[in-house]
Structure 1
Amino acid sequence: MKLPSTLFVLLGVLPLLTVAGPLAYGICQTGCNAVVVACYAAAGFTFGTVTAGAGVPAAIVACNAALGVCMAGCIAAGFAPTP
């Protein structure tokens, strides 16, 4: 049985048309947080214990920036729950 090529196109576009629910959003956010905790640990710090200020190491600033990009990616990927 030969499947029409339009079926493959529709199957390729289908994930772009769907929006995941709150569970997927939570999993994505948890993944981001796990990565930032590992980033802090690699820099020798504990996530949540460093306060903002002029003396913050560049590695921590980079970890925080990466966390922001990751969390924004969760929303851009369509994982954010819709009202």
Structure 2
Amino acid sequence: METKRTDKDLLIKGVKIMILTALLMFLGPTLVYMALGNKASNLYELTLIVGILICIGAIYAGFFGIKTIMKSMFD
């Protein structure tokens, strides 16, 4: 009977996604904070929308990264 092993290529892919998630987790709230602190600017709405979209992308990437890591270990 063959024992199951961790798929290292898939694990590395999941770790890369989690690194991207960490970057997005800092970038998104920073952009939202900058937008809310500078409401007089012409780019207020654009910066706020981009920041919120990056925050949503960080949440999605986090779930996808965890799913990929779990798949590499238990699939």
TM-score by length of 2: 0.44
Higher percent of residues as helix: 2
TM-score by length of 1: 0.41
Larger Rg: 1
